[in-house]
Amino acid sequence: PDEHPWWRSAVFYQVYPRSFADSDGDGLGDVRGIIGKLDYLSDLGVDCIWLSPIFDSPNKDMGYDIRDYKAVLPEMGTLDDVDELIAGCHERGMKIIMDLVVNHTSAEHEWFQKAIADPDGIYGGYYYLVAGTEDKPPTNWQSFFSGSTWRWIPEANLWALHLFDESQMDLNWNNTNVRREVAEIVQWWLARGIDGFRMDVINYISKPDYLPDGHPYVGELLEFTGIEHYLYGPRLDEFLAELRREGFTREDGSVAVMIGETPGIGVQAGRLLSGWSRKELDLIFNFDGLEPPGMTRWHDYVYDLNYLAKFWSNYNAKIGEGDWVSLFVENHDNTRMVSKVYPDAIHQPRTRVAVAKLIGTMQLTMRGTPFVYQGQELGAVNEPFDSLDELRDIESINRYASLREMGKTEEEVWNHMMVGSRDHSRTPIRWTEDQDDSNAWLPGHERTPGFSVEAQRENPDSVYSWYRDLIALRHEHTALSVGRLEVMHHEDDVFVYVRRDAASSWLVELNLGAKPRPRPPVRAQVTPVIGERGATMTPWEATVSRIRD
């Protein structure tokens, strides 16, 4: 394998553009807003920005339903703005990747419009269009966003497949034209200077030609019937290898980074998709760390960080020498980790800060590539929404309706929304203490003093300053990014590990719980560099120390 490609030691930062920075005050974040914050990201130490979709879209799923892959949503900016953003990143030594959402397009994409206008024409083959009658969908598959995966298209007298919302039509990757179009879109963006892509639900793209029923899923609420037919479909490896060659490889032979969003893919199947010798993806997102077995984002429970400690260290032990993992605790589809670990964080600012620093420390000193989600560096917590009409997410809205239809009470369903709604992590970043988001597309309510960027940048004890210092340390010492990982101790909430390479060695000591704990003895001489190091580890304490050999 390549000795450590750039993305192994990089710190990625996910920008959710509609909620990042709004340069014109219309309530929607925009590309010029991001340009205005590049110095902020560069000061934090970000190496590569991942931009959630900014493409032209009817925004039924907030941009994950693309109408035109080569146009920017007018309210977010222009292609010129994007060119300036790319140049601005590169000038500062940062890279930038975009979101490639090609399992499906918006139903408003011209391909789909042409397909249903002429199902026997070229575009008819781009989608899963199946003849039948209106009373009987072709299979029993269940959509991730509630209801059947089949939408009846009366104009064409056909059923069309959608794993997600009924406005997100699944592309038929068995069709060579579809694959050629996708490769061409990737090439087009690479030519503009984009450094790679995060690839949305990329493990779902291969489906069998003949679509059979799914085994009835035994689950609690709204489950994933049919998923066995596309979770790791028959031609997935072939499609990814082809796209790497035809789309991601530049003229000089270099390859832009390919990061797969791969929900439901376990550690070993994930290695098949991202192992260094496989020539498919570079990295995958394995979601098993976000919830312990048996739990989903919709379960009301307290997250135990011991689980994450075990998951990340075991994951590293299970992959091969040359393979690599990604490390994330949040994204735009999940609630805030601080709230999962400490649900009362919003009322306990000091504990909130400690928990946020602890999570950041484990993520930024573990072996793997960290992906920080916007707001994490500020200790953001779940939003205290008041009512359904404040929510914007199609998944929440559909789910609310389905559960009500199933007989759940208004109150039960609302509580359920406040556990798992994706809107919790989609409210605007608080740049200033008195920021007014009342006209925002999804207004934030959380106003605890001291948690804005303005307040935290001035404060050396803030979550922001902690993240910035940790990232700087990680950049300075390769042991902390690509070095070896040795777990020394994990018992009674105390998790201790060493990161080491030829140049330096580091001790990370974490108290993953709310009780003070005795510090396990260490034989070497150590000097704390981040955090403090008394005889007792305080609740939620994190310390990074240099080991003098």
Catalytic residues: 200, 261
DSSP single-letter state for residue 247: I
* Binding-residue total with ligand TEU (CB under 6 A): 11
Distance CA 498, CA 526 (A): 12
CB-nearer residue toward ligand TEU: 181 or 454: 181
CB 376 within 8 A of CB 360: yes
Q: Is 166 among the residues that bind ligand TEU (CB under 6 A)?
A: no
Q: Is 55 among the residues that bind ligand TEU (CB under 6 A)?
A: no
Q: CA angle, 112 as apex, 107 and 118 as ends, to 5°?
A: 140
- Give the nearest distance from C-beta 112 to ligand TEU in angstroms: 15
86, 186, 201, 417: which one contacts ligand TEU (CB under 6 A)?
201
164, 312, 385, 467: which one contacts ligand TEU (CB under 6 A)?
164
- Give the nearest distance from C-beta 56 to ligand TEU in angstroms: 15
13, 144, 248, 400: which one contacts ligand TEU (CB under 6 A)?
144
The site string for ligand TEU over 359-398 (x = CB under 6 A, - otherwise) reads ----------------------------------------
**Sign of the C-alpha dihedral computed for residues 42, 90, 248 and 61 taken in this order:** positive
Place of tokens 């709604």: 421
Q: Is 61 among the residues that bind ligand TEU (CB under 6 A)?
A: yes
> Helices (DSSP H) in 267-330: which residue ranges?
267-274, 305-318
CB-nearer residue toward ligand TEU: 280 or 393: 393
Query: Please, how many CA atoms are within 13 Å of residue 10, restricted to the half-sphere of its CB?
Result: 23
CB-nearer residue toward ligand TEU: 94 or 205: 205
CB-nearer residue toward ligand TEU: 261 or 509: 261
CB-nearer residue toward ligand TEU: 207 or 499: 207
CB 105 within 8 A of CB 66: yes
Strand 104-106 and strand 257-261: the pairing is: unpaired
Amino acid found at 446: E
Q: Name the CA radius of gyration of the chain, rounded.
A: 23
CB-nearer residue toward ligand TEU: 332 or 416: 332
Q: Is 508 among the residues that bind ligand TEU (CB under 6 A)?
A: no
Q: Where do the DSSP E strands lie in 231-325?
A: 257-261, 283-285
Closest CA to 303 of 261, 362, 349: 362
How many angstroms separate the Cα of 325 from the Cα of each of 86, 138, 286, 345?
26, 38, 8, 29
End-to-end Cα spacing for the chain: 30
The site string for ligand TEU over 324-353 (x = CB under 6 A, - otherwise) reads --------xx--------------------
Task: List the structure tokens of 538.
Answer: 């305080």
101, 102, 202, 364: which one contacts ligand TEU (CB under 6 A)?
101
Please, which of residues 259-288 interact with ligand TEU by CB under 6 A?
261, 263
CB-nearer residue toward ligand TEU: 226 or 263: 263
- Give the nearest distance from C-beta 188 to ligand TEU in angstroms: 21
DSSP codes joined into one string, 430-481: --STT---TTSSS------TT-SHHHHHH-TTSHHHHHHHHHHHHHH-GGGT
- Give the nearest distance from C-beta 54 to ligand TEU in angstroms: 14
- Give the nearest distance from C-beta 341 to ligand TEU in angstroms: 20
For 400-419, letters b (16+ CB in 10 Å) and e give bebbeeeebeeeebbebbbb
Distance CA 475, CA 456 (A): 22
Q: Is 170 among the residues that bind ligand TEU (CB under 6 A)?
A: no
- Give the nearest distance from C-beta 262 to ligand TEU in angstroms: 9
- Give the nearest distance from C-beta 168 to ligand TEU in angstroms: 6
Binding site for ligand TEU (CB under 6 A): 61, 64, 101, 144, 164, 200-201, 261, 263, 332-333
